[in-house]
Chain A
Amino acid sequence: MTKYTSVSIPLTLHKRLETIISKKTGFKSVSDYVTYVLREVVAMHELKEVPEPFTSTDLEEIKKRLQALGYL
């Protein structure tokens, strides 16, 4: 089971979110919508710090392989 915790948001914001999700967004609750939006924001922040996983030798090898296959 997914475990949940509570986060407080102003009631006025909650009401506005209810209005948004009632307009055929497909979300069943404000919590679902807020979770969805926050995941997007978190992912955007995480993407800014992507480390290079390949060594320079790996990179040359992979580029050669992809090139030989016509991908580059």
Chain B
Amino acid sequence: MQSDETDDGRGGRLARRVAVLGFDSVPPEILFDKLITKLPNLGRMYREGIHGRLRTCDPPITVPAWMVMMTGRNPGELGIYGFKHRRGFSYNDGYIVTSANVRARTVWDALSDAGRGSVVLGVPPGYPVKRVANAATVSCFLTPSVERPFTNPDGLRDEVIQAAGGNYIFDVTFRTENRAEVKKELFEMTEKRFDVAEHLAKTKRWDFFMMHEIGFDRLHHAFWKFFDPRHPKHVSGNEYEGIDLDYYSMVDGRVGRLLPLLGDDTVTFVLSDHGSKAMQGGFCVNQWLEQEGYLSFVKRPEAPVELDKAEIDWGRTKAWGWGGYYARIFFNVKGREAKGVVEPSELEAEKRKLADRIAEIRDHTGRRMRNSVMEPQKLYGTATGDKPDLMVYFDDLDWRSAGTVGHDSLYLFENDTGPDDSVHSMDGVIMMSVPGRDLGGREVKGARAEQVAPTIASLLGMEPRAAGFAGSTIGEALEAVRG
């Protein structure tokens, strides 16, 4: 349904309405290079719209990347550096980032202030669900269960459950020992998401519609080695060799059903928050820090264990790290951490020294890794919230950071927290189509995640800065819509 509101008097509207299909973790190498010719609906968007790579934020992680796109703020401004944060300067206390940690204005917040409607389905972090006027919202895959309030307004809950056939699924259970079950649940979850998306598109008043599908990310993490012949563990002829095409085709069919419901006056985007690629291994960051003299144990663990569970000699520890698709490094600073040892005046020099050593790390074959070390303050300009002292990508993200300790080697070829097939990469995708117009399949170059919100604001007739979005716009997208 269409909102009755026009623009807020601050300039012309290029688009009556805007829709975003948010496909988590979809890389250009799979969507554009491998599968696009086999996907009729997404293929038409590719050929008749515009498309390109969308450079994500640092770090290339779902939380914060979708919020970077929807607020136009970088992770430092948002104060969000991943799913989990360290609480203050404690050694062991952490928290999961939720919607409550996002205080910057989103596209739907700005529209809400102007009395204009939005549909927001599953955009992370979306739990707990926020009370935004004029927005029909369903929370994200971080929602503990359907027993908790997960819709705005509350009354939307029953509609969602009903549209999903009685059982809405937020996320799949990741069971490496039973991939057949993961596959079944994955397809079922995504079908239900589209069932709900269709219901919301048809029945709510909106100028902005956004759905997020986490299934792509789960497909990549659970099945990458099965469908990518370049993965080090790929076995030719395995039963899941075509699962990428199967899943993307299923989504393509659902996109074909959804697009007409979005209306012929709607500019539609397909966006992903980062790319994905084959995981080469895990690098044991804390064991390496111990080897280099930065971290000491009271008693070195004899079997793999999380760092939190190990007995660390904090009085002799200068730095430690966190695992994940990138490493977060924290220094143990006097007067900041409870048992700090690094003099505050030496912190900057210590960071530089450690960064130099990280640059020298070699992989299991002796080849020097292509490591990047970033300092939040320098990277973002402003770094708020519970930031790490350093952020590290091992070998251009081909290796994940393993935070556990007690391994025989610095190099793991299984994820230390369970087998895993893919890691994240910096380029996601952007496609945009305008109904009834052939934009010729032009390639957009240089689009960045933080340009998405200002671009959508401009399309919907809001002056980006006045609406709260400070970044630049994706000029080629606006020009294409202007014609």
Report which A residues bind B (CB closer than 8 A): 1-2, 25-29, 32, 35-36, 39, 43-44, 46-47, 50-55, 58-59, 61-63, 65-72
Asked whether A2 and B420 contact (CB < 8 A) given A36-B468, A59-B96, A71-B83, the answer is no
Chain B min CB distance to A2 (Å): 5
Q: Considering the chains assembled together, what is the distance between the CA atoms of A52 and B171 in angstroms?
A: 21
Cβ of A25: which chain B residues have Cβ within 8 Å of it? 465
Cβ of A35: which chain B residues have Cβ within 8 Å of it? 466
Can you list 19 contacts pairing A with B, beta carbon distance less than 8 Å? A2-B8, A26-B465, A32-B466, A36-B470, A39-B105, A46-B103, A47-B79, A53-B128, A54-B96, A55-B144, A58-B144, A66-B83, A66-B96, A68-B417, A69-B174, A69-B218, A70-B325, A70-B400, A72-B83
Cβ-based interface call for B2 (8 A): no
What 11 additional pairs, Cβ within 8 angstroms, besides A1-B9, A43-B103, A68-B418? A1-B114, A26-B464, A26-B465, A36-B466, A47-B101, A53-B100, A66-B84, A70-B418, A71-B325, A72-B83, A72-B403
Cβ-based interface call for B288 (8 A): no
Q: Considering the chains assembled together, what is the distance between the CA atoms of A47 and B434 in angstroms?
A: 38
Chain B min CB distance to A59 (Å): 7
Binary contact track B208-221/A, C-beta < 8 Å → 1, others 0: 00000000011001
| Nearest opposing residue in chain A for B5, CB measure | A1
Cβ-based interface call for B228 (8 A): no
Cβ-based interface call for B372 (8 A): no
Chain B min CB distance to A26 (Å): 5
Chain B min CB distance to A58 (Å): 4
Q: Considering the chains assembled together, what is the distance between the CA atoms of A63 and B104 in angstroms?
A: 25
Cβ of A63: which chain B residues have Cβ within 8 Å of it? 84, 96
Q: Considering the chains assembled together, what is the distance between the CA atoms of A69 and B142 in angstroms?
A: 13
Cβ of B98: which chain A residues have Cβ within 8 Å of it? 50, 53-54
Interchain CB contact (< 8 A) of A61 among B79, B144, B417, B468: B144
Closest 5 CB pairs of A and B: A43-B103, A32-B466, A58-B144, A67-B417, A70-B420
Q: Considering the chains assembled together, what is the distance between the CA atoms of A32 and B103 in angstroms?
A: 19
| Nearest opposing residue in chain B for A2, CB measure | B114
| Nearest opposing residue in chain B for A26, CB measure | B465
Cβ-based interface call for B323 (8 A): yes
Q: Considering the chains assembled together, what is the distance between the CA atoms of A39 and B103 in angstroms?
A: 9
Cβ-based interface call for B61 (8 A): yes
Chain A min CB distance to B220 (Å): 10
Cβ of B371: which chain A residues have Cβ within 8 Å of it? none
Chain A min CB distance to B469 (Å): 10
Instruction: Evaluate contact between B96 and A62: CB separation under 8 angstroms.
Output: yes
Cβ of A39: which chain B residues have Cβ within 8 Å of it? 105, 468
Q: Considering the chains assembled together, what is the distance between the CA atoms of A35 and B142 in angstroms?
A: 32
Asked whether A69 and B221 contact (CB < 8 A) given A1-B114, A1-B115, A36-B466, the answer is yes
Chain A min CB distance to B349 (Å): 30
Q: Considering the chains assembled together, what is the distance between the CA atoms of A56 and B452 in angstroms?
A: 36
Cβ of B113: which chain A residues have Cβ within 8 Å of it? 2
Q: Considering the chains assembled together, what is the distance between the CA atoms of A16 and B260 in angstroms?
A: 51
Binary contact track B403-429/A, C-beta < 8 Å → 1, others 0: 100000000000101101001000000
Cβ of B5: which chain A residues have Cβ within 8 Å of it? 1
Chain B min CB distance to A55 (Å): 8
Cβ-based interface call for B52 (8 A): no
Q: Considering the chains assembled together, what is the distance between the CA atoms of A28 and B322 in angstroms?
A: 44
Q: Considering the chains assembled together, what is the distance between the CA atoms of A25 and B464 in angstroms?
A: 12
Asked whether A28 and B324 contact (CB < 8 A) given A62-B96, A70-B420, the answer is no
Instruction: Evaluate contact between A72 and B9: CB separation under 8 angstroms.
Output: no
Interchain CB contact (< 8 A) of B465 among A32, A55, A58, A61: A32
Q: Considering the chains assembled together, what is the distance between the CA atoms of A59 and B95 in angstroms?
A: 9
Cβ of A53: which chain B residues have Cβ within 8 Å of it? 98, 100, 127-128
Q: Considering the chains assembled together, what is the distance between the CA atoms of A29 and B9 in angstroms?
A: 14
